[in-house]
Amino acid sequence: MKAAAFEYQRAQTLEHATQLLQQADGRTKPIGGGQSMGPMLNLRLVRPGLLVDVSGLAEMRQVAAVPEGYWIGGAITHAEIEDGRLDALLSDCPSLAHMLRRVAADIAYRAIRNRGTLAGSLAHADPAADWVLTMAALDAQLQCAGPKEKRWVAMAQFMSGAFTTALQEGELLSGLRLPRYSSAMRWGYYKFCRKTGEFAEASCAAVFDPELRVARIVLGALDGAPMALQSLAAAVAQHGLAALSDEAVSRAVAQVAPGKDAMQRQLLTAAVKRCVKQVFEVK
């Protein structure tokens, strides 16, 4: 199929983009890399009257250190992160830079990573998406820009369900802010895919920073938003791999993902164990 007819306009500034998104009686959609919007247009799952191109907006192409952490513009592509665009920005925390490069490099295929954007992936809110899980584990704050104001939404509250977010009518996900981590930060990321390039059937991300007393294990590829395994993370932070027993992991998975069949539970449990073992560099 091909997309239904629509108008196209390239926004000049972030303010211009939010103004355009107020037009066409709610039938206006932003487009960045088009890796999610393009297929949806062709399948006619969306039929906008106007597409607003935000891929070149200077405000969404910037990265910078800010008092609260690090600002990353929403139009930064997966490939740019893979190729080290954030390395200089995150030079005081190489482990964080390494995590972001690693996650970006495992997203789909290079052709998709060349065009796909950080904000596009987050706003699309596919439960199996890599950035959705990663930013939940990193406790990112997302900036939602509207015609009158910009507001911050924690990643933990941004995604309310599959393909459902806190973005309001006329708002645009302009970028995000990551908190600072110490040089002691350690991380893990693991996902099961049937073949390279596909979305994950089970995934898990973990972030531990003993200096800042951060301990997070987050399960992804669920029916909705990623879910934090808070009790398990606290136990691992206190007791290390000794807390990672089959019974403890299975219990943690069952609490946040009830109703899964035996195979799905096994995939999720294995993803958690392999992810956390990466934190301790255990193969």
| CB-CB neighbours of 140 under 10 Å | 24
Is position 44 within any domain?
yes
Q: Which residues pair with 188 in a beta bridge?
A: 206
Judged by DSSP in three states, 10 sits in strand
Is position 209 within any domain?
yes
CATH of the domain at 12: 3.30.43.10
Task: State how many domains the chain has.
Answer: 3
Task: Compute the distance between CA of residue 2 and CA of residue 36 in angstroms, rounded to an integer.
Answer: 15
Is position 2 within any domain?
no
Based on the fold, state whether residues 109 and 69 are members of the same structural domain. Answer: yes
Domain boundary residue, one of 179, 196, 217: 179
CATH of the domain at 211: 3.30.390.50
Is position 231 within any domain?
yes
Identify the H or E element spanning 134: helix 130-137
Domain encompassing residue 251: 186-279
Task: Compute the distance between CA of residue 250 and CA of residue 242 in angstroms, rounded to an integer.
Answer: 15
Is position 41 within any domain?
yes
Task: Compute the distance between CA of residue 81 and CA of residue 32 in angstroms, rounded to an integer.
Answer: 16
pTM of this prediction exceeds 0.85: yes
Q: Are 57 and 172 in contact (CB under 8 A)?
A: no
| CB-CB neighbours of 93 under 10 Å | 20
Q: What is the DSSP letter of 171?
A: -
Which residues, including other chains, have CB under 8 Å from residue 258's CB and lie 6 or more apart?
Answer: none
Q: What is the pLDDT along the chain (283 residues), one digit of tens a residue?
A: 788 898 999 999 999 999 999 876 778 999 999 999 998 989 898 999 899 999 999 999 999 999 999 999 999 999 999 999 999 999 999 999 999 999 999 999 999 999 999 999 999 999 999 999 999 999 999 999 998 899 999 999 999 999 999 999 889 999 999 999 999 999 999 999 988 888 899 999 999 999 999 999 999 999 999 999 999 999 999 999 999 999 999 999 999 999 899 999 999 999 999 999 999 986 5
